[in-house]
Amino acid sequence: MSTPRIEVHLNKIHHNAQTIVGRLKARGISVTAVTKAVCGHPSIAQAMLDGGVIGLAEARLSNVRKLRKAGIKCSITLIRTPMLSQIDQVIQFCEASYNTEMPVIAALAAAATRKDTVHGIILMVEMGDLREGIMPEDLCAIAQQVVDLPGVALKGIGANYACLSGTAPNAAEMEALSDLANDTEAQCGTFFQTVSGGNSANLPWALDGHPICRINDLRLGEAILLGVDPVSGDQIDGTYTDAFTLVAEVIETGSKPFPLLNSICDPVFKRLHLVPKSGQSERMILAIGHQDTDVLGLSMPPDNRLLGATSDHLVIGTRQLAQKVGSEMRFQMNYSALMNAMSAPDVKTKLLRDNPSPRAPVSEGQANNLVSI
């Protein structure tokens, strides 16, 4: 079988989506599934849709085109601010988009008018993550401009948390976003269909019994795909953390001496390597590297440790050489490793539709999907 490859358990993704959607639905919150980490893979997107999400969200039009070509007809929202160079394609392929710039919104309105359609606009508000977003004090004025434009409809507002800043959202921040929604509606005389509280980092807040205020949507990718809270790394109760497995082939085994630490010049090389006290190491080299995935986001099988990697080699130290040349090793991935592997041209995807065990594993703290070196 071809390596490297990612084995995808579609039923586990479906289970994770269904589990999370059910819990949030009881709180009055719907789920929009984010497919950017899997490059808009249609079968994975369909598993999420079958699990009950209300629509899909993407950051790249190339992925949206892939979904549409495969026959995905649900609502797709572009969650990265549209590029002016792609306005016509945004109108063609997406029902709505998240926006922060009036020149972009005006271009969307003009393109939608030419196509005799109406494009949904969700305004992204800066609430402390310091990535994209309109400053709260400017929101009402911009919202009024959107309301006055033909060809677009102001559908709501949203915010990001724990993307750039790494700070998890809390109840006070969700209340502040809700207050902004209420104030903007009152001043603009409109009603927001969507108040999107954020991403997978919002799940602890959403499931902890806090009042949800106006928040009625979360944009979830990592939580569904990997079954973990992206801030803490903890497994989400009742979900699977092994829906994706990276498989790589062993191309060399044996014992080699370790270089002395003071003889290593490259600081990056030092940081990515363990240098034990002994001068010899049993090691394996696998045919995968930085061009294929984020090697620091791979879990190491028991009794193995990451020694380092280059563009196309992964070097693993082991207590005993149980693997032979030509054998396969399997790794769980964190979000970064998954995203890189799914987009790597030499990493193939194998879809599995096997039935998972009746009950997902019970959370016992942090999920084993982060490498420690």
Residue that wins the pLDDT comparison between 61 and 258: 61
- In this prediction, residue 259 carries a pLDDT of 62
Structure-token pair, residue 229: 């809270």
d(C-alpha 367, C-alpha 364), whole Å: 8
Average pLDDT over residues 198-202: 94
Burial level of 19, CB count in 10 A (0-12/13-18/19+)? buried
- Beta-bridge mates of residue 153: 120
Look at residue 277 and tell me whether its pLDDT is greater than 50: no
For every residue of 208-230, DSSP letters joined together read TT---TT--EEEESHHHHH-B-T
- In this prediction, residue 319 carries a pLDDT of 83
For the segment 108-138, what is each residue's pLDDT rounded down to a tens digit?
A: 999 999 999 999 999 999 999 989 999 999 9
Average pLDDT over residues 36-62: 98
**59: confidence class by pLDDT, cuts 50, 70, 90:** very high
Percentage of the chain exceeding pLDDT 70: 89
Average pLDDT over residues 54-82: 98
- In this prediction, residue 371 carries a pLDDT of 31
Look at residue 77 and tell me whether its pLDDT is greater than 50: yes
Alpha helices in 85-168 (DSSP H): 87-93, 102-114, 139-147
Look at residue 60 and tell me whether its pLDDT is greater than 60: yes
Average pLDDT over residues 263-291: 68
- In this prediction, residue 108 carries a pLDDT of 98
- In this prediction, residue 357 carries a pLDDT of 65
pTM exceeds cut of 0.85: yes
Average pLDDT over residues 359-370: 47
- State whether residue 55 is helix, strand or coil: strand
**In sequence order, which residues have a C-beta less than 8 Å from that of residue 137 and are 6 or more positions away?**
none
- In this prediction, residue 191 carries a pLDDT of 97
For the segment 308-352, what is each residue's pLDDT rounded down to a tens digit?
A: 999 999 999 998 888 999 999 999 999 999 999 999 999 999 999
Look at residue 98 and tell me whether its pLDDT is greater than 50: yes
Average pLDDT, the chain: 91
- In this prediction, residue 272 carries a pLDDT of 53
Look at residue 268 and tell me whether its pLDDT is greater than 70: no
- In this prediction, residue 343 carries a pLDDT of 98
For every residue of 162-209, DSSP letters joined together read SSSS-PPP-HHHHHHHHHHHHHHHHHHT---SEEE--SGGGHHHHTTT
Q: Which domains does the chain have, with CATH numbers?
A: 9-226 (3.20.20.10), 244-352 (2.40.30)
**DSSP type of residue 84:** G
Query: Which of 309, 330, 308 has its CA nearest to residue 247?
Result: 330
